[in-house]
């Protein structure tokens, strides 16, 4: 398993649920932990799922919602 961390400008549980739903649909993702207060999302996935692919999925939501999304350093 590979752990990937994102910084997401979530402001409520609705945002967190949207992010969980988007990432949870990706084959190979086993767990999504969204923390609204810390504005972080930690994803556990197998090696076949690239961080860039997950970021692209989140960027579509970001464009629609106006919330920021970035791969954490």
CA distance 2 to 29: 10
Model confidence over 45-57: pLDDT tens digits? 999 999 999 999 9
pTM of the model: 0.94
Mean pLDDT of the 24-35 span: 98
Sign for the CA dihedral angle at 62, 30, 49, 37 comes to: positive
Those residues with Cβ within 8 angstroms of residue 11's Cβ, 6 or more apart along the chain or in another chain: 36, 67
Name the domain count of the chain: 1
CB atoms within 10 A of CB 19: 25
Full domain range(s) for residue 41:
2-71
Domain holding 19: CATH number?
Answer: 3.30.70.100
Say how far apart CA 30 and CA 48 lie, in whole Å. Answer: 12
Check residue 6 and give its pLDDT. 98
């Amino acid at each position: 398993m590979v752990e990937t961390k994102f910084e997401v400008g979530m402001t409520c549980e609705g945002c967190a649920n949207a992010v969980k739903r988007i990432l949870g649909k990706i084959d190979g993702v086993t767990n999504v932990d969204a923390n609204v207060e810390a504005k972080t999302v930690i994803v556990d996935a197998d090696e076949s799922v690239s961080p860039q692919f997950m970021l692209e999925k989140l960027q579509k939501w970001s464009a629609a919602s106006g919330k920021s999304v970035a791969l954490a350093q």
